[in-house]
Structure formats: C-alpha cells, structure tokens
C-alpha cells in the first residue's frame, strides 16, 4: 500500500486550510472505499501529519489532531499541502521544518500537490523554480514578488509537472483532488468521487473567476501614470506607441519597464483592464454585447470575442448567461418560447436562444 501524507501546517493558516485538509481526506478515503467495493485493496494509507500533535484554526475556533508527526514518516508517496493564510510573506519556523521534510521526500521519489496558497510553502522549497505553478488569483502579485523564478500561471486551474501538482484558489482544491484520484486510481474512481461529492469533472481554467485589479504594487511612477491613463480612457482605442510618446519614453524601454512593474506587456494590461470592465457590465447591466464592446473601445466583434475568450476562457455571451441573473431568467423564458415554435423558426446555435425573438 502506498502512503499519502496530508500536511497540517504549523500556523500561517485559516479556515480554508482546514477545509482543504478535511476535503482531501474525505475524497481519497472515498476513492479507497470504491476500490474495496470492486474487490481491490486500498491504494493509499491516508495520514494527517504535522510538526506537532495538534493545530488550531480560526483563532482557536477549531482544532485538528495529527495522526502522526512528520518526523515519524520515513517514506511517503504523495504529499498534499493545503491552503495557507493570504498574509504569507516569510515561512515560519514550524512550516520551515515541513518544507525541509517535503523537499527530502520529493528527492526520495514522492510527488507533491499544493492547494491554493499552499503553493507559497511549496515555492519556498525551491522545487517550483523554473516550473509552472498556479495559486489563488488574489495573491499573484505577492507570489511573483516573493518567487520570481517560478512560472506563475494563475489562469490555470491545475498544473502538472515533474511530479508536482498545483491548483488555483478557493475551493477548486476539490478539482485537484479529483484530478489526483483519476491519476492514481482510475477514471471510474474519479467519476464516482465527483458524483458523490458533486464536484464538476474536468475543469481546466479558473480564468472566469479572476478579478483583475491592476498591478499597482510597484514604485515606477511613469508606469503608474500609464496605468491611470489606460483606466481613464477605456472607451478609446489606445495606441501603445502614442502612450509611450506621451510619457516621453522610448517604446522598447517603456515595454521593458511595464513588464517589470506589472508582469504584463502594455498590450496585455490594456486588454485585461478593458475586459474586466466589460465583465462588470455583462454581470450587472442589460446592455447588449455590442454596447459593452463599444463601451470598452472595441469596434470589431471578432477581435473583442477573441480577447474576451483568451482572458476568461468563455465567450461574452456565455459569460453573461453565467453571471447575469436577468439574462439567465430571460434565457429560460426564451428557451420555452423557442421550444414552442422551433419547427418553423429553427435556431442552430443554442446560445442564440437568449436573443431569440428579441
């Protein structure tokens, strides 16, 4: 039987940490039970382990007892690192012991999976240097600043590279757990667990959940002026060349400084700001896709749709249907109308139903 260690951090945690630990523990034990029902042996011995016998969460609201200390575990095959507190800046003494143990186990053949901001502990080991990594979108600026050698991919729900797995924010740790069940057990076991715990199978992106606030945590005043100009002229078609000239900077130097300050090229930043504004309009207003498009400075429907999909992994219409309550109600009303006379008025694209008879 293989050994699976779910790490209990020594502080620097919150209630999400506890959710990750309990969620992973339940899902892997359910996968073991599925194997047993099929007449097979359990795949993993699942064990909760930390540097001490007990850890507290939520300012002492809840406590969790470790089944063993990491010093007692000589060999493990898979390590799960749960979410940590968002204020994670420097690893604490107890978590440093965990990180050192994780590094030793990885070098001894173990695989590692970090959930949400657990990527901070994993990155502190150096094992993520040069590798892709995902974490919660809300801490991406801090993560990039602390770990510049890691190739951060906040749009990815899951990364899988050289025996190291990471995933995005919040309760998407459930998707990582299902992913690992499929990887280690079987597709059938993953489907079973997804149904038991009602977790969406095969999610690939967390792009639609990202709220882009603009990377302002830097000291480059010229770039801050450029960012302010972009945000104040959303309805215009902005030329990056003109913007750099306006700030008396050469284009090459402007691009270099912009990337260093924000992590995005000027064009990428411009697109993200415009699409974030479009998302808010689609969520909260009754404006048409074209009205929203013009509002953020696009005149080409195809170009707008392509950029929107690149950033959110959804089309503008799909996004509106998902997040605008009025659009959802209208969609269901139109589906009913559509079903009444679809023989005489066929609609080929199901997403056209929402605008049918409009």
* 203 band by pLDDT with thresholds 50, 70 and 90: confident
Same-domain status, 25 and 89: yes
Nearest Cα neighbor of 264 from 310, 203, 202, 318 is 310
User: CA 214 to CA 273: how far, in whole Å?
Assistant: 7
Instruction: Say if residue 332 is in the same domain as residue 268.
Output: no
Same domain, 203 and 313: no
Give me the chain's average pLDDT, please.
89
216 within a domain of the structure (yes/no): no
- Residue that terminates a domain, selected from 180, 209, 238: 209
Same domain, 272 and 335: no
Clarify whether residues 232 and 349 are in a common domain. no
Examine the domain organization and report whether 112 and 148 are in the same domain. Answer: yes
Domain identity same for 61 and 123: yes
202 and 257 fall within a common domain: no
pLDDT at 351: 41
pLDDT mean over 325-347: 53
What is the percent of the chain with per-residue pLDDT over 90, rounded to a whole number? 72
Q: Locate all alpha helices (DSSP H) within the chain, ordered by sequence.
A: 15-37, 93-107, 119-124, 140-146, 173-184, 187-196, 221-232, 240-246, 251-262, 266-284, 289-295, 301-312, 316-323, 325-341
Domain annotation covers residue 70? yes
- Residue 351: inside a domain, yes or no? yes
The interaxial angle of helices 266-284 and 251-262, nearest 10 deg, is 60
CATH number of the structural domain spanning residue 8: 3.40.50.880
User: Is the domain of 306 the same as that of 332?
Assistant: no
- pLDDT tens digits, 217-269: 788 999 999 999 999 998 999 999 999 999 999 999 999 999 988 888 999 99
Same domain, yes or no, for 204 and 341?
no
Q: Identify the residue whose tokens are 């924010």.
A: 169
Domain that holds residue 266: 221-322
Is 108 part of any domain? yes
Structural domain contains residue 215: no
Domain count, the chain: 3
Q: Confidence class of residue 328 from pLDDT cuts 50, 70 and 90?
A: low
Give the C-alpha distances (Å, rounded to integers) separating 90 from 7, 80, 86, 87, 136.
18, 20, 11, 9, 18
- Angle, vertex CA 191, rays to CA 185 and CA 195, nearest 5: 130
Which DSSP category does 117 fall into? G
Boundary-marking domain end, from 209, 231, 266? 209
pLDDT (0 to 100) of residue 163: 97
Burial letters for 247-260: b for 16+ Cβ neighbours within 10 Å, e otherwise? eebeeeebbebbee
Q: Would 214 be classed as within a structural domain? A: no
CATH number at residue 308: 1.10.10.60
Residue 289 in domain: yes
Question: Are both 11 and 130 inside the same structural domain?
Answer: yes
pLDDT at 336: 45
Residue 153 has a CB neighbour count (10 Å cut-off) of 18
DSSP 3-state of 310: helix
Q: Do both 74 and 154 map to the same domain? A: yes
């Amino acid at each position: 039987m293989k050994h699976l260690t779910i790490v209990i951090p020594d502080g620097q945690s919150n209630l999400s940490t506890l959710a990750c630990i309990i969620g992973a523990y339940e899902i892997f034990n359910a996968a073991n039970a599925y194997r047993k029902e099929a007449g097979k042996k359990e795949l993993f011995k699942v064990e909760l382990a930390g540097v001490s016998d007990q850890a507290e969460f939520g300012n002492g609201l809840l406590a969790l007892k470790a089944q063993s200390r990491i010093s007692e575990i000589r060999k493990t095959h898979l390590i799960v690192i749960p979410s940590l507190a968002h204020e994670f800046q420097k690893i604490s003494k107890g978590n440093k012991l965990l990180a050192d143990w994780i590094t030793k186990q990885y070098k001894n053949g173990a695989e590692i999976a970090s959930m949400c901001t657990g990527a901070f502990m994993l990155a502190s080991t150096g094992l993520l240097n040069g590798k892709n990594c995902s974490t919660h979108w809300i801490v991406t600026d801090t993560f990039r600043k602390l770990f510049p050698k890691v190739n951060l991919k906040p749009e990815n729900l899951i990364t899988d590279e050289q025996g190291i797995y990471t995933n995005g924010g919040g309760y998407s740790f459930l998707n990582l757990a299902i992913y690992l069940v499929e990887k280690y057990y079987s597709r059938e076991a993953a489907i079973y667990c997804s149904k038991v715990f009602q977790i969406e199978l095969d999610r690939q992106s967390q792009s639609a959940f990202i709220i882009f606030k603009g990377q302002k945590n830097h000291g480059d005043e010229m770039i801050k002026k450029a960012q302010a100009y972009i945000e104040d002229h959303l309805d215009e078609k902005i030329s990056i060349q003109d913007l750099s000239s306006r700030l008396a900077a050469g284009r090459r130097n402007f691009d270099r400084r912009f990337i260093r300050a924000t992590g995005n090229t000027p064009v990428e930043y411009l697109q993200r700001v415009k699409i974030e504004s479009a998302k808010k309009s689609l969520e909260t207003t009754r404006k048409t896709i074209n009205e929203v498009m013009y509002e953020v400075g696009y005149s080409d429907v195809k170009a707008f749709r392509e950029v929107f999909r690149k950033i959110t992994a959804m089309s503008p219409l799909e996004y509106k249907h998902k997040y605008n309550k009025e659009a959802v109600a209208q969609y269901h009303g139109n589906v009913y109308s559509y079903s009444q006379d679809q023989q005489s008025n066929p609609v080929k694209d199901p997403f056209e139903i929402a605008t049918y008879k409009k």
